[in-house]
Amino acid sequence: MQSSQFTGSSLSLTSQMVKWILRKRTKSRIQAAEISFLRRVAGLTRRDGVEMFRHMLGKTLGLFGYTIQYGCIAHCAFEYIGEFVVCSGPSMEPTIVNHDVVFSERMSRHLFKIEKGDIVIAKSPFDPQMNICKRVIGLEGDKICTSSPSDLFKTHTYVPMGHVWLEGDNLRNSTDSRNYGPIPYALIRGRVCWKLWPLHSFGTMSETPMKHIIKAQRDSDSD
C-alpha cells in the first residue's frame, strides 16, 4: 500500500516537472521570438531613420544648390544685362521726374559704348551707397564750359582720360560735374534706355536735348 502511493507521487512529480520544463521552453521560445521581432523592428527603424536622413539631406543639398544657381543667374543678369531703377529727385526734369521707373542696361558700359547724350546711372562720387542719374555731356578729351551763360568770361576744362562729365537736364536744380568735377568711367553702372513707368510715358528715352550737345561742341570749337 505504501509502495503504490510512492509510485503515484513520483509520477505526479514527474508530470509537474515535465509541465514546468515545457512552460520554460515555451516561455523561452516566446521570449526569443519577441527578442527576434524587436531586433527586426529596431533594424527596420534604424534603416528607415538612415533612409529618411539621406532623403532629407539630399533635399537640403538640392535646395542649396538651386539657391546658388539662381543666385548666380540673378547676379549675372543684374551685372551684365540690366536692372530696374526707381528715380527720385528733380535733377533730370522734365525728362525723368520723381518716382519714374526706368530700365538701365549694362552692356554699353562693359563694351565702352557710352556716348555723349546718354542718360546713365552712376555711383555718387560722394557716397558709394547712393546712385545718381545724369546725362553724359562730355567724354575723355572733350572741352567743357564750366561757367554759367551769364558770365562775361568763359572758363573751360578738359575731361581727363577715363572720366566723363555729367550734368542733369534741370541745370538750375542739379548737383553734378559742375560741382564735383568729372567722374571716373568705372562709376557708371548702366545706360538708361527705357522708361517703364508711368505707362503714358512708356518707351525709349528721348533723344539728347540738343542744347547740351550744341553747348559742349560750340565751347570746344570756340577755343
Residue 126 is placed in which grid cell? 560722394
In the residue annotation, 134 being an active-site residue is answered as yes
3-class DSSP state for residue 215?
A: helix
Catalytic residue (one of 3, 10, 24, 91): 91
In the residue annotation, 24 being an active-site residue is answered as no
- Torsion from C-alpha of 44, 49, 53, 55, nearest 10 degrees: 40
Residue 184 is placed in which grid cell? 571716373
Question: Beta strands 101-105 and 163-167: pairing type?
Answer: unpaired
Query: Containing H/E element for 27?
Result: helix 2-76
Q: What is the C-alpha to C-alpha distance for residues 91 and 155, in angstroms, rounded to an integer? A: 23
Catalytic residue (one of 104, 108, 134, 195): 134
Q: What is the C-alpha to C-alpha distance for residues 173 and 177, in angstroms, rounded to an integer? A: 13
Q: Active-site residues: which are they?
A: 91, 134
